[in-house]
Amino acid sequence: METVQTILTHRYSYPHEHTRHAIIAVAVSGLFFISADNIHSLIQKLDKNYQWWSIYACLFGFFYFFSSPFFGKTIKPSYANFSRWHISWILVAALYHLPSFQSMGVDMRMNLSLFLTIFISSIFVLLVFHLGFLFLWYIGLVSREAGRRPDILTILQNCTVLSVACCVFYSHCGNHVLNESPFGRKDSGLFSLWKTGEPSELLAKFLKMYEFKDEECISWFAIGSARDYPLLSKWVIYGESSDEISPIYSLWATFIGLYCANFVVERSSGWAHTHPLSVDNQAQRKPDFLDMVPWYSGTSADLFKTVFDLLVSVTVFVGRFDMRMMQAAMSGSHEGAKPEDFLYEHFSEKDDFWFDFMADTGDGGNSSYSVARLLAQPSLHVLNNGSLNKLPRGDLLLIGGDLAYPNPSASTYEKRLFRPFEHALQPPSWYKKEHIAVNKPELPVGISDLKQYDGPQCFVIPGNHDWFDGLQTFMRYICHKSWLGGWLMPQKKSYFALQLPKGWWVFGLDLALLSDIDSYQFKFFSELIRDKVKETDSVIVMTHAPNWILDHYWNDATGKNVSHLLCDHLKGRCKLRMAGDLHHYMRYSYVPAEKPAMVQHLLVNGCGGAFLHPTHVFSNLIEAHGTTYETKVAYPSVQDSRKIALGNILKFRKKNWQFDFIGGFIYFILTFSMFPQCKLDHILQDDTFSGHIKNFFSAVWDAFIYMVGESYVSFVGALILLVAAILFVPSKVSKKKRVIIGVVHVSAHLVLALVLMLLMELGVETCIRHNLLATSGYHSLYEWYRSVKSEHFPDPTGLKARIEKWTFGLYPACIKYLMSAFDVPEVMAVTRTNICKNGMVSLSRGGAFIYYASVFLYFWVLSTPVVSLVFGSYLYISINWLHLHFDEAFSSLRIANYKSFTRFHIKEDGNLEVFTLAVDKVPKEWKLDSDWDDESKQQEHQLSHHRKYPSTWRASSFHQDPINTLRIVDSFVIQRDETVENVPVAENHH
Mind listing the pLDDT tens digit for each residue in 784-826?
A: 777 777 666 666 556 677 777 777 777 778 888 888 888 888 8
In this prediction, residue 178 carries a pLDDT of 32
| CB of 728 closer than 8 Å to CB of 743 | no
Cis peptide before 676 (omega within 30 of 0): yes
- Predicted confidence at residue 341, as pLDDT, reads 83
Report pLDDT for 277. 42
DSSP E strands in 549-626: the ranges are: 574-579, 585-590, 599-605, 622-624
Integer angstrom CA distances of residue 527 from 420, 505, 570: 38, 14, 11
**Which residue would you say has higher pLDDT here, 162 or 212?**
162
Whether 48 has a pLDDT exceeding 70, the answer reads no
> For residue 402, how far is the Cα from the chain centroid?
21
Q: What is the mean pLDDT of residues 33-39?
A: 50
pLDDT for the residue numbered 49: 55
Mean per-residue pLDDT, 747-755:
94
Neighbours of 897 (CB within 10 A): 17
332-350 average pLDDT score: 73
Per-residue pLDDT tens over the stretch 165-200: 777 777 666 543 333 333 333 333 333 334 444 445
pLDDT in tens, 104-121: 555 677 777 888 888 888
pLDDT at 643: 94
pLDDT of res. 528: 95
- What rounded mean pLDDT belongs to the chain? 79
pLDDT at 775: 80
Per DSSP, the three-state class of 281 is coil
Q: Which residue stretches of 646-734 are H helix?
A: 647-655, 660-671, 689-709, 712-728
Residue 444 confidence (pLDDT) above 80: yes
> Looking at residues 556-580, what average pLDDT do you find?
94
Least confident of 206-210, 406-410, 612-616, 745-749: 206-210
Average pLDDT over residues 825-850: 88
Among 676, 670, 672, which residue's Cα sits nearest to residue 840? 676
Q: Degrees (nearest 5) of the Cα angle 854, 857, 858?
A: 100
Give the lowest-confidence range in 33-42, 723-732, 846-855: 33-42
Average pLDDT over residues 425-450: 88
- pLDDT over 50 at 390, yes or no: yes
Closest CA to 289 of 559, 609, 599, 35: 609
Locate all alpha helices (DSSP H) within 180-238, ordered by sequence: 201-221, 231-233
Neighbours of 925 (CB within 10 A): 12
Strands (E), 862-990: 899-906, 912-919, 926-928, 953-955, 967-974, 980-982
Average pLDDT over residues 58-77: 62
Look at residue 232 in the predicted model and tell me its pLDDT. Answer: 44
Using CA atoms, how far apart are residues 20 and 13, in angstroms rounded to an integer?
15
Structure confidence at residue 258 (pLDDT): 78
- Number of helices (H), then strands (E), belonging to the chain: the values are 33, 22
Per-residue pLDDT, 463: 94
For residue 188, the model assigns a pLDDT of 35
In sequence order, what are the beta bridge partners of 928? 953
- Coil, helix or strand at residue 861: helix
Residue 574: which residues within 8 A CB-CB, separation 6 or more? 538, 539, 540, 541, 566, 598, 599, 600
Terminal Cα-to-Cα distance of the chain (whole angstroms): 31
pLDDT at residue 453 tops 70: yes
User: Can you give the pLDDT at residue 971?
Assistant: 95
pLDDT at 448: 83
Q: Which pLDDT does position 814 carry in this prediction?
A: 80
The predicted pLDDT at position 783 comes to 81
Mean pLDDT throughout 400-413?
91
Task: Tell me, yes or no, if the pTM score tops 0.85.
Answer: no
Does 157 score more than 80 pLDDT? no
Q: What is the pLDDT of residues 911-938, one digit of tens each?
A: 999 999 999 999 999 999 999 999 988 8
Which range, of 247-251, 332-336, 421-425, 612-616, averages the lowest pLDDT?
332-336
Alpha-carbon separation of residue 499 from 376, 573, 585, 673, 802 (angstroms) = 23, 14, 26, 68, 88
Once rounded to an integer, what is the mean pLDDT over residues 465-486?
92
What's the pLDDT at 79?
59
Peptide bond connecting 199 to the previous residue in cis, omega within 30 degrees of 0: no
Beta-ladder partners of 354: 905
